[in-house]
Copies of this chain bind each other. A is one copy, B any other.
Amino acid sequence: MNLLKPLGDRVLVKVRKEEEKVGGIVLASNAKEKPTSGEVIAVGAGAVDYNGKRMPIDVKVGNVVWYDKYSGTSIKYDGDEYLVIRAGDLLAVED
């Protein structure tokens, strides 16, 4: 889905469908809560700081990231769920 390019400091994440036990990580959520991790599909150009410079984004395409379940705006595409979320709202990335 290279159709959508996130803007500014946002990234596009493909949400992991059902609660995948990756190395045992469960982000404080039980089965019925929305999954809160997924793979980065696209990264914006970054926000512009007070001096007009682009600020870095610390994740790249392919990273698996974790986020609070209420962040971002969700997008459905061909049956899959995606999320447009600000990089600053991402909690952690899987090493």
Chain B CB count within 10 A is highest, among A22, A73, A74, A95, for A73
Question: Across the interface, which residues of B come within 8 angstroms of A58, CB to CB?
Answer: 7-8, 45
In the complex where A51-B50, A77-B26 touch, is A92 in contact with B56 (Cβ < 8 A)? no
Q: How far is the CA of A26 from the CA of B88 in the complex (A)?
A: 25
What is the total number of residues of chain A having a CB less than 8 Å from a CB of chain B? 45
B4 and A66 contact, CB distance less than 8 A: yes
Task: Name A residues whose Cβ lies closer than 8 Å to a Cβ of B.
Answer: 2-8, 10, 12, 22-28, 45, 48-53, 55-56, 58-59, 65-66, 68, 73-78, 84, 87-88, 90-95
CB distance from A20 to the nearest CB of B (A): 13
A95 and B48 contact, CB distance less than 8 A: no
Question: Across the interface, which residues of B come within 8 angstroms of A92, CB to CB?
Answer: 4-7, 10, 12, 84
